[in-house]
Amino acid sequence: MKKINFGAGPCILPQSVFELAAEAIIDYDQLGLSILEISHRSHAFVEVMEEARSLVLELMNLDASSYTALYLQGGASQQFAMVPYNFLSNTAAYVDTGVWSQKAISEAKKVGHVETIASSKENGYKSIPEKISIEHSYDYVHLTSNNTIYGTQFDAFPSFNETPMIADMSSDILSRPRNYAAFDLIYAGAQKNIGPAGTTLVVVKKDFLQHVNGLDRFKFLDYNAHSKADSMLNTPTVFSIYASLLNLRWIKEQGLDSIFSENQQKAALLYATLEKHNWISPFAERSSRSSMNVTFTIPDASHAALFDSYCKKYDIHGLKGHRLVGGYRASLYNALSLSNVKILTDVIDEVNTHV
Ligand SMILES: *Cc1c(COP(=O)(O)O)cnc(C)c1O
């Protein structure tokens, strides 16, 4: 029995992606070879890489003459270091909206001077700071678009005129059409909404690649080196990139607008149900709530026990809150359908009839 996976990442992907990926492990494109054994320099894989690079730009509505997409390794965590290592010359500005932002800030401080220009630390990261502005120019402003742990999300992004913007979009990239072109660099660990763990998407403006600092940097940590090598500086994560491509094709088939519309319905249904029963989030204020990661607590311990047993019964998986905050978290990534969410909300309603 296939479970309904509300896990935060690695996460659910469309069943068709799992099936096509499984086929490719046995025989890729009728080559008589597995995707796991073909050369990354083979024509077959170079085609995969090129389509994955161009399709992601297309889905983000970015012009391929201005932007380039790279599939790197090391997760979003390596980007925390790579971003400042390449682009921090004088001072960088960071918006602190939680643990992932903090990690990015801590890595940047090892490279140079960092200013936290806005933070929601004071209120336990329950909200996205309002009216973020800057007084002078910075090498870049960095923000985290969706805070996976607390369930908060930027609905609209601030803008800073000429100052380049960089975002960690690991947990909400391609969950909705966005003005991705407002950013000079966007990164995302693939395992939430793009594909399986293993590859990290970096989308960067070609002009911005000229802004690198004067460091004589390790080649593998150099965006320009990866870009010049067409994202094949070394052996890429062939399988992860192929499965990501399958998912990108699925997103294209669905259409990002229709995915967004379903994502909104999913979140609205779940939040309404939680509110109805007072199972609300202690981690996210209403105005900053995420449509991707919905955090909640169950005030009554006997309800919690009943809820856990119902989840088991209905094959609902992955609702445990992040270890730092506890409680529950339902992640509503693209491949999770509205009917899947309906099963969860029915269970929540059912548990609450046992008062
Ligand atoms: C999961 C997550 C990360 C960490 O990603 P890794 O690929 O595991 O390094 C970073 N930022 C956000 C917003 C995340 O959700």
The pLDDT tens digits for 270-304 are 999 999 999 988 899 999 999 999 999 999 889 99
Instruction: Select from 210, 230, 254 the last residue of a domain.
Output: 254
Q: Which residues contact 70 (CB under 8 A, 6 or more apart)?
A: 53, 201, 202, 203, 204, 223, 226, 227, 231
Q: Are 72 and 226 in contact (CB under 8 A)?
A: yes
Long-range Cβ contacts of 176-185 (<8 Å, 24+ apart) = 176/256, 176/259, 176/260, 176/263, 176/291, 177/61, 177/256, 177/257, 177/260, 178/60, 180/60, 180/61, 180/62, 181/61, 181/62, 181/63, 182/157, 184/140, 184/208, 185/83, 185/87, 185/140
**Average pLDDT for 218-240:** 98
**Beta carbon of 189 within 6 Å of any ligand 1 atom:** yes
Q: Which residues contact 240 (CB under 8 A, 6 or more apart)?
A: 71, 190, 195, 196, 197, 198, 199
Residue 4 lies in a domain: no
Q: Are 237 and 198 in contact (CB under 8 A)?
A: yes
The gap between the terminal CA atoms of the chain, to the nearest Å, is 31
Distance (Å) from CA 104 to ligand 1 centroid: 10
- Whole-angstrom Cα distance, residue 328 to residue 7? 10
User: What are φ and ψ of residue 122, in 5° steps?
Assistant: -50, -40
Long-range Cβ contacts of 256-263 (<8 Å, 24+ apart) = 256/59, 256/174, 256/176, 256/177, 257/177, 259/174, 259/175, 259/176, 259/334, 260/175, 260/176, 260/177, 262/337, 262/338, 263/175, 263/176, 263/291, 263/292, 263/332, 263/334
Q: Are 230 and 223 in contact (CB under 8 A)?
A: no
Question: What residue's CA is closest to ligand 1, atom 3?
Answer: 76
Identify the CA nearest to 8 among candidates 239, 244, 348, 325.
325
Distance (Å) from CA 159 to ligand 1 centroid: 23
Distance (Å) from CA 216 to ligand 1 centroid: 27
**Beta carbon of 76 within 6 Å of any ligand 1 atom:** yes
Q: What angle do CA 141, 144, 149 make, to 5 degrees?
A: 155
Distance (Å) from CA 149 to ligand 1 centroid: 10
Q: Are 152 and 284 in contact (CB under 8 A)?
A: yes
Judgement on whether residues 316 and 275 belong to the same structural domain of the protein: yes
**pLDDT of res. 242:** 98
Judgement on whether residues 243 and 266 belong to the same structural domain of the protein: no
**pLDDT of res. 58:** 98
User: Where residue 325 sits, what CATH number does that domain have?
Assistant: 3.90.1150.10
Judgement on whether residues 43 and 144 belong to the same structural domain of the protein: yes
Identify the CA nearest to 150 among candidates 268, 288, 295, 327.
295
**pLDDT of res. 14:** 98
Share of the chain above pLDDT 90, in %: 95
Residue 297 lies in a domain: yes
**How many domains would you assign to the chain?**
2
pLDDT tens digit sequence for 192-221: 999 999 999 999 999 999 999 999 999 999
Question: What residue's CA is closest to ligand 1, atom 14?
Answer: 170
pLDDT tens digit sequence for 145-176: 999 999 999 999 999 989 999 999 999 999 99
**Average pLDDT for the chain:** 96
**pLDDT of res. 355:** 64
Domain span including residue 133: 15-254
Judgement on whether residues 243 and 156 belong to the same structural domain of the protein: yes
Judgement on whether residues 158 and 243 belong to the same structural domain of the protein: yes
Instruction: Select from 254, 270, 299 the last residue of a domain.
Output: 254
Instruction: Select from 254, 274, 293 the last residue of a domain.
Output: 254
Judgement on whether residues 66 and 129 belong to the same structural domain of the protein: yes
Residue from 11, 73, 168, 290 to probe ligand 1 pocket by mutation (most atoms less than 8 Å from CB) = 168
**pLDDT of res. 281:** 85
Tokens of 138: 């910075």
Judgement on whether residues 156 and 289 belong to the same structural domain of the protein: no
For residue 354, what pLDDT band results from cuts at 50, 70 and 90?
confident
- How far lies 249's CA from each of 29, 162, 186, in Å? 16, 34, 20
Compute the Cα dihedral for 77, 164, 128, 252 and give only its sign: negative
User: Where residue 138 sits, what CATH number does that domain have?
Assistant: 3.40.640.10
Neighbours of 182 (CB within 10 A): 14
Question: What is the value of pTM for the model shown?
Answer: 0.97
- How far lies 14's CA from each of 23, 125, 249, 254, 343, in Å? 15, 31, 11, 11, 18
Element (H, E) at 113: strand 113-119
Known catalytic residues are: 100, 168, 192
| Helix residue ranges per DSSP H, 88-179 | 99-111
**pLDDT of res. 1:** 83
Q: Pseudo-torsion of CA 325, 92, 193, 52, nearest 10°? A: -160
For residue 2, what pLDDT band results from cuts at 50, 70 and 90?
very high
**pLDDT of res. 310:** 96
**pLDDT of res. 282:** 87
Judgement on whether residues 311 and 191 belong to the same structural domain of the protein: no
Judgement on whether residues 29 and 51 belong to the same structural domain of the protein: yes
Distance (Å) from CA 56 to ligand 1 centroid: 19
Question: What residue's CA is closest to ligand 1, atom 7?
Answer: 75
User: Relative to the CA of 197, which ligand 1 atom is closest?
Assistant: 7
Question: What residue's CA is closest to ligand 1, atom 13?
Answer: 170
Residue 5 lies in a domain: no
